[in-house]
Amino acid sequence: MTKSTPERVVRRGRVFPEIQWTDEQKAQDRARRQAFSERCWAIFERLKPEILDKYYGWYIAIEPDSGDYFIDQDQEVASKMARDKYPNVIHHIYGINETGVSGRI
């Protein structure tokens, strides 16, 4: 009786090694994400005095290009409302409170 041994190739490293960003590309992506975050934060800060008392503890999804926002008690529902109206656009979620933090530790 012969003993068979499985031959398996072990690969270590990056999942997609052909995708390598330069430092410049990484900096551009960081700057793009920071600019997006700042645009969303400006809208949130503008809306906060109006919505803080009425919707405290709820969630707000903001689409910065149009300035539209969606408020709901459930974070997933607010996000879904934003995705339904703007399916191919990234939005930002904030918790409606003093700091805008939407999670719990």
- pLDDT tens profile 2-11: 666 667 776 6
59 neighbors 74 (Cβ within 8 angstroms): yes
Q: Find the range with the poorest average confidence among 13-22, 48-57, 60-69, 93-102.
A: 13-22
Long-range contacts of 72-76 (CB under 8 A, 24+ apart): 75/102
Following CA atoms 23, 29, 35, 38 in sequence, which dihedral angle do they give, to the nearest 10 degrees? -100
Element (H, E) at 63: strand 59-63
* Residues 32-46, mean pLDDT to the nearest whole number: 95
How far apart are the C-alpha atoms of 59 and 7, rounded to whole Å? 52
